[in-house]
Chains A and B, each alone.
Chain A
């Protein structure tokens, strides 16, 4: 599969635990986005990278969230001290160039219990 892949697909964690998600974009895409999607809502922007540089973070992104893209390839999103409100689908998307098609991964569904 040459598309965007995310791991894990599902994660159940206890409140207060830390979790980390991984996204592998399409190899030639230099832009990578993280979105969060809750039931009945559209994807909400969290943060994005151009190559290894994190260019923008949403106000939605509390200091418990951190993202990296160390070599400009895969990216990780970490949530520390998870809260029940963090339960959502976390989507990664990659783009080859500005204002072009965003290719989404299957997402990681996080459930905080």
Chain B
């Protein structure tokens, strides 16, 4: 089955700097890759997703890149703000009939 590895487990950046979180997956059939943000004590919420027919997707300060050949995808947050502090999870699935497999998460701290 699918296995998703996520790095780093913790990340501290200064406010205004960029943050990059990387994930690798094992199942070459995976074609849907969402990223979730979970603030302390709250539910995970989708912030961006990408499908295998696209190499990059942007939404304001957030972008995701996908390299299908290398089987890795990354989350990029630019101009970080204190409210970006949270745990971020990547996930992957081969198709809609297979549940999402999540990485272990990255705790991002943005220092003002």
Give the B-binding residues of A (Cβ under 8 A).
4, 33, 40-45, 48, 55-56, 91, 95, 97-102, 104-107
Please determine whether A104 and B43 come into contact, CB atoms closer than 8 angstroms. yes
Q: Which of B14-22, B65-73, B99-107 contacts A (4 or more CB under 8 A)?
A: B99-107
A48 to B97 alpha-carbon distance, docked (Å)? 10
Q: Which of B44-52, B56-64, B78-86 contacts A (4 or more CB under 8 A)?
A: B44-52
Please determine whether B34 and A48 come into contact, CB atoms closer than 8 angstroms. no
Partner of A98, one of B36, B46, B97: B97
A98 to B97 alpha-carbon distance, docked (Å)? 7
Please determine whether A102 and B46 come into contact, CB atoms closer than 8 angstroms. yes
Please determine whether B44 and A41 come into contact, CB atoms closer than 8 angstroms. no
Partner of A106, one of B4, B42, B91, B93: B42
By the criterion of a CB under 8 Å from any partner CB, how many residues of chain B are at the interface?
Answer: 27
Q: Is B95 an interface residue (CB 8 A)?
A: yes
How many residue pairs at the A-B interface have CB separations less than 8 Å? 55
The secondary-structure label for the interface of chain A is: loop
- Most chain A CB neighbours (cut-off 10 Å) among B43, B45, B96: B43
User: Which A residue's beta carbon lies closest to that of B107?
Assistant: A40
**Contact partners of A4 in chain B: CB under 8 A:** 43
A45 to B49 alpha-carbon distance, docked (Å)? 19
Instruction: For the A-B complex with A98-B96, A106-B42, A106-B43 known, give 12 more contacts whose Cβ atoms are closer than 8 Å.
Output: A42-B6, A42-B91, A43-B102, A95-B96, A97-B96, A98-B97, A99-B32, A99-B95, A102-B46, A104-B43, A104-B45, A107-B43
22 contacts between A and B (CB under 8 A): A4-B43, A40-B9, A41-B105, A42-B6, A42-B103, A42-B104, A42-B105, A43-B100, A45-B99, A45-B100, A91-B44, A97-B96, A98-B96, A98-B97, A99-B31, A99-B32, A99-B93, A99-B95, A101-B46, A102-B100, A106-B42, A106-B43
